[in-house]
């Protein structure tokens, strides 16, 4: 048997393959493919201050946001790696206008999985040396195997996910993922280039004392969100809570999962549907949260029950420790 204290990610995937709903080995290869691309991106992120790779690339993505140079590189590396390993039939990325259909030369559209990815979340923080990350979501296609993928394969509710995770590029680099059997975190040993199991069975504390929201937008928030923020700031019981907002979803989520807290990106008068994308930001984080005893909501309903209608759809997002999200929902319902 493997030594659980020094288990590599590859060994962990092999040891737990029987718990996957589908055990053909393709999902394992896909998770390993993402791991390989993450190591390449990690290398580039860590040397960003030494070479001309920081700053804007001079183009905007489909969201109308400036693409950073590392955004473009990360997008290329993940797409290239997944294509070359011939394990997916389609990819959707924050940086691409439309999904990418992939037909392996000898397989004739036989691959079963689609990947949705935010290649470099929080990239506006690159130039100031703040942690950034990659977020991914994996589904089994719903159209017949042997045919090209269609938009229908990507517009699935989050409850259909079979795996999701993120890589955080910070003081240490971590790969955190779930296949529906809990959440496990692996830390990269840069000397060996190997991820080791460092955070088994990660869990949100049931409640916490951190709230994460961009309070600079307070005046634009719905009344329910304003009321909840005032509740967080009130001197009563275990409050006031501490305000901690990095501006990188991966970083804020990761901290709150370890320490206990709530992350909020509500709709506002400036962003009527919120800012975060349902398919490759909110759904994967919601899957991780629920697998780690947390909760994710748009303020009124479960994130993973929402039926997507477009590839880059945006939704309000409340995610974190279960009791804190439920309290925020109370304020939203009563406003």
Q: Looking at the chain, how many residues does it have?
A: 335
**173-178 and 183-189 beta bridge pairing:** antiparallel
Q: 8: which DSSP letter?
A: B
**Beta carbons within 10 angstroms of residue 180's beta carbon:** 14
Closest Cα partner for 35 from 163, 125, 181? 163
* Six token digits for residue 134: 């990659």
Residue 123 is labelled as binding a ligand? yes
**113-121 and 88-93 beta bridge pairing:** parallel
Phi-psi domain of 297 (left: phi exceeds 0; alpha: psi -120 through 50; beta: other): beta
Residue 127 is labelled as binding a ligand? no
**Beta carbons within 10 angstroms of residue 24's beta carbon:** 10
* Six token digits for residue 245: 């907002």
Residue 245 is labelled as binding a ligand? yes
Beta bridge partners of 184: 177
Whether the CB-CB separation of 170 and 180 falls below 8 Å is answered with no
Residue 214 is labelled as binding a ligand? yes
Residue 120 is labelled as binding a ligand? yes
Q: Which run of H or E residues covers position 184?
A: strand 183-189
Residue 122 is labelled as binding a ligand? yes
Closest Cα partner for 203 from 228, 170, 176? 176
Residue 118 is labelled as binding a ligand? yes
Residue 275 is labelled as binding a ligand? yes
Residue ranges of the annotated binding site for Mg(2+) are 94, 118, 120-121, 281
Residue ranges of the annotated binding site for substrate are 121-124, 214, 245, 275
Residue ranges of the annotated binding site are 94, 118, 120-124, 214, 245, 275, 281
């Amino acid at each position: 048997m493997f030594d659980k204290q020094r288990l590599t990610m590859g060994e962990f995937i092999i040891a737990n393959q029987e718990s996957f709903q589908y055990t053909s080995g393709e999902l394992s290869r896909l998770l390993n493919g993402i791991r390989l691309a993450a190591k390449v991106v990690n290398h580039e992120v860590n040397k960003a201050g030494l070479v001309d790779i920081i700053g804007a690339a001079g183009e905007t993505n489909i969201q109308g946001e400036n693409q950073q140079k590392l955004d473009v590189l990360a997008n290329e590396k993940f797409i290239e790696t997944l294509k070359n390993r011939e394990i997916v039939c389609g990819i959707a990325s924050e940086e691409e206008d439309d999904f990418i259909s992939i037909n392996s030369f000898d397989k004739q559209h036989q691959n079963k999985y689609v990947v949705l990815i935010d290649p470099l979340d929080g990239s506006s923080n690159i130039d100031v040396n703040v942690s950034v990350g990659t977020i991914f979501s994996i589904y089994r296609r719903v159209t017949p195997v042997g045919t090209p993928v269609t938009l229908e394969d990507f517009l699935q509710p989050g409850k259909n996910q079979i795996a999701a995770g993120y890589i955080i590029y910070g003081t240490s680099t971590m790969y955190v993922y779930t296949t529906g059997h809990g959440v496990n975190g692996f830390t990269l040993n840069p000397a060996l280039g190997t991820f080791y199991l460092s955070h088994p069975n990660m869990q949100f504390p049931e409640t916490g004392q951190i709230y994460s929201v961009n309070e600079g937008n307070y005046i634009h928030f719905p009344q329910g969100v304003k009321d909840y923020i005032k509740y967080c700031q009130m001197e009563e019981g275990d409050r006031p809570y501490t305000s901690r907002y990095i501006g990188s979803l991966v970083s804020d989520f990761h901290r709150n999962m370890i320490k206990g807290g709530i992350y909020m990106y509500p709709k506002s008068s400036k962003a009527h549907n919120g800012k975060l994308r349902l398919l490759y930001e909110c759904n994967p984080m919601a899957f991780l949260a629920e697998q780690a005893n947390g909760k994710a909501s748009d303020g009124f309903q479960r994130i993973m029950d929402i039926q997507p209608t477009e590839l880059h759809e945006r939704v309000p997002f409340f995610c974190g420790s279960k009791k804190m999200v439920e309290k925020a929902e109370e304020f939203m319902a009563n406003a």
